[in-house]
Amino acid sequence: MKKDFFLVTGSCGLIGSEISNFLLKKGYNVVGIDNNLRKFFFGKNASVEWVRKILIKNKNYHHHQIDIRSENKIENIFKKYGEFKSIIHCAAQPSHDWAKTDPILDFDVNARATLLLLNLTNRYSKKSSFVYLSTNKVYGDKVNSYKFKELKNRFELIKTNKYSKKGVSEDMTVDQSKHSLFGASKLAADILVQEFGRYNNMHTVCFRCGCLTGPMHSGAELHGFLSFLVKSYVENKTYKIFGYKGKQVRDNLHSKDLINIIWEYIKKPKKNAVYNIGGGNFSNCSIIEAINILENIGKKKFNYKVLKNIRSGDHKWWISDLSKFKKDYPNWKQTYNIKKILKEIYSFLI
């Protein structure tokens, strides 16, 4: 057993559980924080209790079922364990649809709790790297204002757009667009992470993620695109597509590929870093394309219906440009494309 302790918030969620298992296999201690608020957000089918039961079987995993908004309880964890090797902040209210139902709770979980963690890290564990899972929603729906070409099964940016070849880079403005309340709370946290890095000379990073996925995802209609898609297919349930004729494009990054991104950063952390992270050109699809792939995998028809209503602030197209991260961390290699991801999730659920 290695002496280093890592703090992981949202440790039973998709990314939190993946990074926890990754670190545990390497012999590290993991202090996990997760109070299964996901069940409250999305219902019992989205509960992560099953993941907690798996994690606690490892004696090097130390679970704390507390709310990340509780400053005193979080501070006690810092006092108990001392200096962490890294704080990996995965906990969040992750749905832009849900945020409008309770914007204050959304802001408290996404922004204020991040501020509490940053402040406690600065006080008790300043040498730690602070990894924050941000989102491409910090850019709002600016991408929707661009011109697109409509193909048979997807939309594509016109070739003259500067983002058409590699995807969206970090120079896209975060201003003058509709973010959703979720995007606004995540942007507030994103900026706080950067400023703690600058003002307090801390090693902080914002990973502005597109769709993240994998078999450990407790997918729900409001969050977890591919996971919920496959679950609906396996259970023969009708899947609802919100607008854009199902041709809206998403890049999807497998959780294991993201974990290796996080690990590369932890091994060689930078100060106040920001990276767009997603499947990029290697792993992306429209909803219709994902359905077609699934039907080939499962050898049966998918029941779905396309609605006219478009989710407010939803992206018509999004592919992340990973060039900046790849330049800084050239050892990272992406291993999962869309077909491989869908096959794995399907095999896990049947």
How many helices and strands in the chain, by DSSP H and E?
A: 13, 15
Say what the pLDDT of residue 312 is: 78
pLDDT by residue (tens digit) across 94-103? 888 889 999 9
Query: In terms of C-beta density within 10 A (0-12 exposed, 13-18 middle, 19 or more buried), how is residue 154 classed?
Result: buried
Say what the pLDDT of residue 96 is: 81
pLDDT by residue (tens digit) across 104-128? 999 999 999 999 999 999 999 999 9
Radius of gyration of the chain (CA): 19
Residue of 48, 10, 18, 23 lying closest to 213 (CA atoms): 18
C-alpha distances out from residue 164 to 151, 232, 321, Å: 15, 32, 10
Please give the CATH number for the structural domain made up of 5-349: 3.40.50.720
Say what the pLDDT of residue 222 is: 57
In this prediction, residues 280-294 reach a mean pLDDT of 97
Do the beta carbons of residue 213 and residue 227 sit within 8 Å? Answer: yes
94-106: b or e for each residue (b if 16 or more CB lie within 10 Å)? bbbbbbeeeeebb
In this prediction, residues 6-19 reach a mean pLDDT of 96
Say what the pLDDT of residue 262 is: 98
pLDDT at 3 over 80: no
Indicate the pTM of the whole model. Answer: 0.94
Q: Is 253 helix (H, G, I), strand (E, B) or coil?
A: strand
**CA–CA–CA angle 188, 174, 128 (5° rounding):** 45
Alpha-helix runs per DSSP H in 235-334: 255-267, 287-298, 323-328
Say what the pLDDT of residue 223 is: 62
Question: pLDDT class for 80, splitting at 50, 70, 90?
Answer: very high
CA atoms within 13 A on the CB side of 76: 8
Do the beta carbons of residue 224 and residue 47 sit within 8 Å? Answer: no
Do the beta carbons of residue 9 and residue 89 sit within 8 Å? Answer: yes
For 35, other C-beta atoms within 10 Å of its C-beta total 19
Share of the chain above pLDDT 90, in %: 87
For the chain, which residues make up each domain, given as ranges? 5-349
Question: pLDDT class for 311, splitting at 50, 70, 90?
Answer: confident
Query: In terms of C-beta density within 10 A (0-12 exposed, 13-18 middle, 19 or more buried), how is residue 200 classed?
Result: middle
For 90, other C-beta atoms within 10 Å of its C-beta total 26
Say what the pLDDT of residue 224 is: 62
In this prediction, residues 63-80 reach a mean pLDDT of 97
Say what the pLDDT of residue 87 is: 98
In this prediction, residues 7-22 reach a mean pLDDT of 96
pLDDT at 219 over 70: no
Query: What is the overall mean pLDDT for the chain?
Result: 94
pLDDT at 165 over 90: yes
pLDDT at 221 over 80: no
Question: pLDDT class for 36, splitting at 50, 70, 90?
Answer: very high
